[in-house]
Structure 1
Amino acid sequence: MRILLLAAVAVLVAGCQTEVAGQATPTGFVVKDGTLLRFRPVLAALPAGPPSGPAAERQSADPATQRAAAQALDCAADRPDPLDGRDDPALPLVGCDRADGTKYVLGPGFLSGADVSRVAAHPDPATGGSVIDLSFTAEGARTWAEWTGQNVGKQVAMVLKSRVLTAPVVQSAITGGETQIAGKFTLAEARQLARDIAGG
């Protein structure tokens, strides 16, 4: 599925509610722990496939080591991740999307969950699908605008505890602190992704 990252062009649909700690709120999810979520640039993506070769260091700056780590990585959904959130955000990371098995080589983190103020999911009447809205803090919005302006057409991974949740393509520079993730999501899928981005 090709997922797009767009400047937000719509507000929450009236009556759309999600749950936060057992309570319904019309404004979405608040990030629970800003240290768990990291935004990392996608340097390379490898298609899903069984692991091959010996395990390699997943946080190396050496491209050959990164490729070997990606090939050896087991992305099976039922396999625990040995890093499980203990990755160093200042170093590259080899990780995977456990939903579709794609393996990613990611650059150092440039934003964290502390830079996100709120995440919400709602139907998109224009497409008939659903979208996820992210609202950034003032500082996060400045960093996001600068990064997206320099990386149009590239992917950015949202990583929770070393696991890639989504890796949308940046469609344009995103200013103003509001961002929308669009793809072929059902409302249930969009809400689950919003919940995961907020920290589960």
Structure 2
Amino acid sequence: MNDKTEELRDIFTNVTDGEETVTESQEDTRGSLERDERTDEERLESVVTQMRERYAFETALSDDDLIAVARGFYDDRSDAEIADEIDADGDAVFEARMSLHLVGEDDADEVDLVAIRDREEDDATLADEYDVSEAQIRRYRRIAEAQDQSRAANDRYRDEFDSILADAELSERMTTDVREDGLEDATEGMETDVDF
């Protein structure tokens, strides 16, 4: 052992109160993934609250309404259907979806959002060029803005919604499938045409 190694050993021994070795006791745990103990509703409320604080978006919709918008989006309901459900205006639901970064694949499938995003022309000029109304151009620009916000946050909020709402739906579907498959297996080969 050279002088440096001995010196380091002495420092280690002093720091650890004379212990020659340091070991951490280990616990037997099942699995390695942390389970969030909150309910889905509590997790959704948390995401909505965080987004309200971060983006300071203005909406007449309550947090419960915003959660209903998110649930409706994941249930593939239209803005109009969600609006009827929460007694709101379709435009308010669209704006709420954009504020929550919930952009659907068919929200702007007929235009190139990247091209619109980078253009500085006014709405009227772009409306003429794309042969759509100015309202549609404003809508496309809002969709592009929502996508930019989501990307700037590394899609964190969208991923959280996915993990709460999409995973819950998948889990429910898998449980139903397992129940049905189990019932089929249990009844396979049984005689069902029995005479009493």
- Normalising by structure 2, we get a TM-score of 0.20
Q: Which has the higher contact order (CA 8 A, sep 6+)?
A: 1
- If each structure's strand is expressed as a fraction of its own residues, which one has the higher value? 1
- If each structure's helix is expressed as a fraction of its own residues, which one has the higher value? 2
Considering only CA atoms, is the larger Rg found in Structure 1 or Structure 2? 2
